[in-house]
Amino acid sequence: MELTYKTIMNKIPFLLLLLCLFTNCSKDSNGDDATTYNYFYPTDETSITAAQIGNGTGTLDPKGIAIANEKLYVANGNVLEVFNAVTLAHIKTITEYKKGTTTIPLTEITSVAVDNGRIYIGSRESRLFVMDENTNAGISTVGNGQWWNTFVHVFGVVVKDGLIFVKEKETSIKVFETSQITETSNWDLKPIAKLNTLNGFDQVYSLDVEAGNLVVAGRDAKSYLYYNIANIKANAAASLTEPLKPTTSTFNAKPIAVSFSKDWVIASENSGSVNNLVLYPKADFMNRTYNASVNVSDVLGKNAFGSIVGVAQLNDRLFLSDNTNKKIRVLKLNKSVIEEQN
């Protein structure tokens, strides 16, 4: 389990009992045995700010984030920041793509994904940079920085199971195979499929892959968007003419960010001026049943969240890219087990 456990027996703390009454605690009971309530809640651990980068005089404008091999990658303006996700120490700032005699400065970085030894960096300047995860040497670029070629800007990227999903401006997601990108591949690659997000313009988008589906936090469609990957492959050629539309569900809030961990769907949702951190059980979420185990706009009544544009989890830590407050919020996910004797 990716949680820190705390077991409370016999005496039930009044506060946690009230929280269970008014939130989605899970309940287990077996005849005359004790009834067990599971309550999950986040607590503040720390924050990563600009003060922890370099000499501390720079800026942090966090957007998309990713965790791989105990490293935290943060899209930060015109650079990619790399932190140790365990100690939270700053490791390096990547400022450019470099391959042989070619050097391209990173500009307006929106998103990042790490998969199978590669880092994929999305830029609003209509490029996807691909680098070696260990050496950070350039492998290739997709797009040449001109919005009328390849990408109309890049606002989100996720890579898994041999596929690359790139969210560009308005309602478009382009799908590539990782095998298309090599040391010698051309920058003007053609997508194998196209997807339609129904609504959208130029916001940073969050997307992830789970259980054979691409899931997009459809902030403009006010729904999580589900695309079956087997269906994408089967209808890839036709989708280049008519992009595939997602399965949706009626939703009141705006999904802003989504990420899958071992046990949870970690999400952020917006309702007017309120920004919530939400955790869903994975099986329920994939069945489009949105019974949140955690749904909070702050931490125990303090430190309200700003706009959370990226989320990730490592063990019992939740990482939130809080763009409003210009920091990475680092929370601890706790579990209390409350047993009530029948």
How far from the centroid of its chain's Cα atoms is residue 12's Cα?
A: 35
Query: ∠ CA(240), CA(243), CA(249), 5° rounding?
Result: 160
Which residues lie below 8 Å from residue 171, measured CB to CB, with a gap of 6+? 196, 197, 198, 199, 200, 243
Taking CA atoms, 113 is separated from 117, 135, 157, 165, 248, in Å, by: 11, 16, 6, 10, 24
CB atoms within 10 A of CB 95: 13
Taking CA atoms, 314 is separated from 13, 49, 63, 88, 317, in Å, by: 29, 19, 18, 12, 5
- What's the confidence (pLDDT) of residue 21? 45
- What's the confidence (pLDDT) of residue 37? 80
pTM of the model: 0.90
- What's the confidence (pLDDT) of residue 1? 38
Using CA of residue 182, residue 185, residue 190, residue 195, what is the dihedral sign? positive
- What's the confidence (pLDDT) of residue 251? 87
Does an H or E element contain 91, and which? Answer: strand 90-94
- What's the confidence (pLDDT) of residue 242? 98
Query: ∠ CA(320), CA(322), CA(326), 5° rounding?
Result: 130
Series of mean pLDDT values for 10-residue runs along the chain (342 residues): 38 46 55 76 97 94 98 98 98 98 98 98 97 98 94 97 97 98 97 97 95 96 97 98 95 95 96 97 96 96 97 98 98 89 64
